Amino acid sequence: MLPYTITYFPVRGQCEATWMLLADQSQDWKEDIMTKEMWLKGDLKASCLYGQLPKFTDGDLTLYQSNAILRNLGRKHGLCGKDNREAALLDVANDEVEGLRVRYLLLIYQSYEEGKDQYVKDLSTQLKPFEILLKQKQGGKAFIMRDKISLVDYNLLDLLLVHQTLATGYVDTFLGLSACVALL
Ligand code: GSN
């Protein structure tokens, strides 16, 4: 039996960072793909604690909330820093990634036509903190925690790739960020 099962829709959405983490860490997992038609039947939604996907199971452990799933895998696979101090700094960075993800989702779902130009103009301010973190690179590696990959790098990479699609080539103007994309 595979250790992990992830139930989600056939999109990258809130699951891509988790899938990248698992693949990069050479972990196997079972994908339980939920089509819109299956979801609209309502049974699974009713059974989910918060009525939403992704749903993650590891034996008798069931989790919801993409960031909680990511952090759980981070703890299991040594991707949360080497001590409490690094774990705390990674928490800050991950919350920052989540903040930008929420802004992005609001743009896409609520104000794309009228909001895109301003959003792209503001991107340099939004992405600057990540560039500063990644520029601390060591040993030729550009990760949030210097030379050791963490759960936040997968989350950030997914977000950067999404923004590459939104504003083609824009992320390449950030040296540290493009290094992160290239290295991962
Ligand atoms: O990060 C998380 O897992 C949650 N804070 C959000 C989960 C979520 O928004 N799930 C959506 C699909 S992903 N995004 O757009 C979901 O399950 N939608 C279906 C529904 O009936 O709400």
Look at the alpha carbons of 171, 177, 178, 180 in this order and tell me if their dihedral is positive or negative.
Answer: negative
Closest atom, ligand 1, to C-alpha of 54: 3
pLDDT tens column, 52-109: 999 999 999 999 999 999 999 999 999 999 999 999 999 999 999 999 999 999 999 9
Please report the domains of the chain, with CATH numbers, ordered by start residue: 4-76 (3.40.30.10), 84-183 (1.20.1050.10)
- DSSP secondary structure string for all residues of 85-139: HHHHHHHHHHHHHHHHHHHHHHHHHH-HHHHHHHHHHHHHHHHHHHHHHHTT-BT
Pocket perturbation via mutation, ligand 1, pick of 14, 105, 151, 158 by most ligand atoms within 8 A of CB:
14
CA nearest ligand 1 atom 12, residue: 53
Ligand 1 centroid – CA 140 distance (Å): 37
Dihedral angle of Cα 178, 74, 1, 40, to the nearest 10 degrees = -70
Give residue 64 CA to ligand 1 midpoint distance, Å.
10
CA-based Rg of the chain, rounded to a whole angstrom?
Answer: 17
CA distance 106 to 91: 23
- d(C-alpha 119, C-alpha 137), whole Å: 28
5-42 pLDDT, tens digit each: 999 999 999 999 999 999 999 999 999 999 999 999 99
- Which protein residues are within 6 Å of ligand 1, measured from CB? 13-14, 45, 51-54, 65-67
CA 98, chain centre distance (Å): 8
